[in-house]
């Protein structure tokens, strides 16, 4: 019997809808959401989002509702089990990452510590 496991990185329905809308605005259906982690930010690491057309040899891909997210193996180690959401509220709208590996994060939510 095969045991189902949760994806290493997940997009919420709201995040997938927003990425699909942004890709439509770019008028290029070959674009994928690239998620990355780099050193910096006020907590030690910072999240990065961009569009990309290429999948590199060390990349993993995840799909939700036709939207593809791409992440390199090194970043995935820091984000394993995370969920990417798109939130709209009175303070504005943004992509947010719920990272179970983060021991702390900054007030703006764009950087974290392990």
Q: What is the pLDDT of residues 27-54, one digit of tens each?
A: 999 999 999 988 766 667 788 899 999 9
- pTM comes to 0.80
Structure tokens belonging to residue 38: 């780099």
Q: What pLDDT shows up at residue 44?
A: 74
Q: Who has greater pLDDT, 62 or 43?
A: 62
Reported as a pLDDT band with limits 50, 70 and 90, residue 112 is: very low
Class of domain 9-113: mainly beta
Where do the domains of the chain lie?
9-113
Q: What pLDDT shows up at residue 54?
A: 94
Q: What pLDDT shows up at residue 2?
A: 41
Cα dist. 33→2, 16, 29, 52, 89 in Å? 30, 10, 11, 6, 22
For residue 24, what is the enclosing H or E element?
Answer: helix 13-26
Q: What pLDDT shows up at residue 4?
A: 38
């Amino acid at each position: 019997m095969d045991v189902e496991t949760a994806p290493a990185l997940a997009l919420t329905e709201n995040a997938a809808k927003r990425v699909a809308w942004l890709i439509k605005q770019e008028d290029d259906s070959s674009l994928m959401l690239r998620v990355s982690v780099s050193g910096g930010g006020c907590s030690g690491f910072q999240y990065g989002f961009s569009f990309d057309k290429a999948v590199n040899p060390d990349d993993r891909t995840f799909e939700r509702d036709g939207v593809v997210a791409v992440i390199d193996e090194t970043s995935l180690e820091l984000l394993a089990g995370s969920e990417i959401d798109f939130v709209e509220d009175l303070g504005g709208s943004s992509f947010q990452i719920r990272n179970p590996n983060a021991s702390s994060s900054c007030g703006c939510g764009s950087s974290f510590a392990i």
